Amino acid sequence: MVDMIINKLVEGNKRYKWKLLDKKETIDIEGRVPRYPVLILTCMDSRIDVHRIFQLNSGDVFVLRNAGNQFSEDILRSILISIYEYGVKQIIILGHLDCEMKKVNLDELRHNLPIELLRELGKKSVDLRFSLQRFFRIISDEIINIKNQVDRFKSIKAISKNVKIIGMIYDPASGWVYTEEDLNHFPSYENFMANYRELLHKKQLDHVSFLETIESEIVGAESVELTKLNELEANKKIVKSESIDEALNKEIAEKSLLESKIERLDLPDLEKYMNMPLKIQIPKIHIPKIKVYVPSVIKPNKKNGK
């Protein structure tokens, strides 16, 4: 199974390289990295494709991932590099609904973990369950978790106050992203879901207004294509019409020429011409001379008795 997945990845890279050669993909290695001074910390959940969700291109923003989009020493290390080395000015904590970190069963997890790890965690607390909770940072509420992470990063003195830190939440079921302004109205996941239908309706209305602003983009490409098709169809009709006209003109010209020839003939001459018998020339057939050889017959001579 693992080998199949590796082969799929290698094959995918070959397809990517082919697209580069075929000019269907490009590699932009020029300009600043990232293109926008933004870092997004999100969950490792494979459904969260930041570039698709926000319609970004490769190289547009920095993206960090871990289980539950949470603060850690290693995440902080990367964030500080992004700020002081690459000039990042905005950090977005992008959580998501239906997070698996909320569904982890610690009792089941404990039975699957190596005994060496359990012993190490047991040294830190007499309550192994508490140690597991603290080590894996299991969450109980996606909304609260996002707000806690925003507050945690804002409390880090090493992060410049000029860096703006906000939270957002993504809904994998609908594709919508809810901004910090949306989250401020809901203190918890339970409260958020109680108003879910209303939120969706509001998003749909907002989307209609947005589509009106990009109507030219939506209709533009189709209109151009439709115009091309109409022009092509019109050209076909013109060519077809010209062909018909040309054929008709040719027929009219031939008819006029025939009529003019008939008009130049006198009626008597025409009648004489019509009543004239046909002269049929019979071809001469050459028959070669045939020589017939008749054998001579010698009759017996009665006198000689022969």
Q: What is the pLDDT of residue 94?
A: 98
List, in order, residues 6 or more apart from 150 with CB less than 8 Å away.
Answer: 93, 165, 166, 167
Q: Residue ranges per domain, the chain? A: 31-98+141-195, 100-138, 214-260
- Tens-digit pLDDT profile for residues 170-195: 999 999 999 999 999 999 999 999 99
Amino acid at 174: S
Mean pLDDT along residues 107-111: 94
- pLDDT band of residue 30 (cuts 50, 70, 90) is confident
Q: What is the pLDDT of residue 214?
A: 87
Q: Which CATH class is domain 31-98+141-195?
A: alpha beta
Quote the tokens at residue 171.
Answer: 């809904």
- Tens-digit pLDDT profile for residues 207-243: 999 998 888 887 765 555 666 666 666 666 665 566 6
The residue with greater pLDDT, 302 or 255, is 255
> In sequence order, what are the beta bridge partners of 41?
64, 93
Q: What is the DSSP string of 214-274?
A: THHHHHHHHHHHHHHHHHHHHHHHHHHHHHHHHHHHHHHHHHHHHHHHHHHS-HHHHHHHH
Query: What's the predicted TM-score (pTM) here?
Result: 0.69
